[in-house]
Structure 1
Amino acid sequence: MKIKTILFLIICSMWLVACNSNEETTKTIEIQELINFEEEKSDTLQLISDAKDIKIIEKTFKKAREFGEVDNKVVPQYKIKLNDDEYYLWIDNTYTGTIANVNSRNMFYNIYTTEEFKKAINYQEQQK
């Protein structure tokens, strides 16, 4: 009887671990170039599905530091859909960028835009 109980507990534990490890796994990230806050550039949608790139993007967003509330009129280059949230992204050739949640676009967060991050989102420096 003890062996059955121990075996049952081991199986239940393994099942719980397997269920928890699949939580909030991002399968794809959508990135769209923008014309203005409401209008997207046609034919610029990217679907990022590479696990390494997704991890880099998620890590960058998780490390974002609150900058504060700003009345901003500058159009972001991108809109990024990450899980159930959408963000605006302002980025250039420096190592800092800015993100804001689409639902509260005046609250800014600074991010560190490494070369690895720029490569993950296929960033191309804009020619002036």
Structure 2
Amino acid sequence: MKIKTILFVIICTMWLVACDSTRETINTIEIQELINFEEEKPDTLQLISDVKDIKIIEKTFKKAREFGEVDNQIVPQYKIKLSDGEYYLWIDHTKTGTIANIKSRNMFYNIRASEEFKEAINYKNK
């Protein structure tokens, strides 16, 4: 009986280690200011590598709530590259923002644009 228990614990441990190692770790997030949907503003690329800032940005994006499809012509302020894709970001002085995956830019998601998030992306209220 002891051998079965030990074997079970070893298998479970190996499985947990394997699952954890497949999780992708983001080392850098790229943020670029935009002129229009296709054109980036020169000399505005930011590489966010601070672990705390990366976690804040990831958490904000993961908590995004679907708003729905909108035929939008308003140019986003930023393009953000995460491990799971590229996103447009519309943000202002309020506590909310909007994101859309570049591949489906008419499907909008609302985010909570906390001061912590704004600091993490170096947002400047314009």
TM-score (norm 1): 0.87
Provide the residue aligned with 2:12 in structure 1: 13
User: Aligned partners of 1:82 and 1:71: how far apart in 2?
Assistant: 24
User: Aligned partners of 2:32 and 2:11: how far apart in 1?
Assistant: 43
1:16 Cα shift? 2.6
Provide the residue aligned with 2:80 in structure 1: 80
1:8 Cα shift? 5.3
1:82 Cα shift? 0.9
- Measured against aligned partners, the alpha-carbon deviations of 1:29-64 in whole angstroms (never above 9, x if no partner) come to 111110100011111111111111111111111111
- RMSD of aligned C-alpha atoms? 1.8
Percent identity between matched residues is: 70
Give ranges in structure 1 of 5+ residues lacking alignment: none
Provide the residue aligned with 2:45 in structure 1: 45
User: Aligned partners of 2:74 and 2:113: how far apart in 1?
Assistant: 19
- Measured against aligned partners, the alpha-carbon deviations of 1:71-124 in whole angstroms (never above 9, x if no partner) come to 111100000011131100000111010000100101111111000000111111
- The one-letter amino acid paired with 1:43 is D
- Measured against aligned partners, the alpha-carbon deviations of 1:3-23 in whole angstroms (never above 9, x if no partner) come to 5x7655544433332232231
- The one-letter amino acid paired with 2:72 is N
Give ranges in structure 2 of 5+ residues lacking alignment: none
Superposed counterparts of 1:41-120, under 5 Å: 41-120=41-120
- The one-letter amino acid paired with 1:80 is I
Mean CA deviation greater in 106-115 or 46-55: 46-55
TM-score (norm 2): 0.88
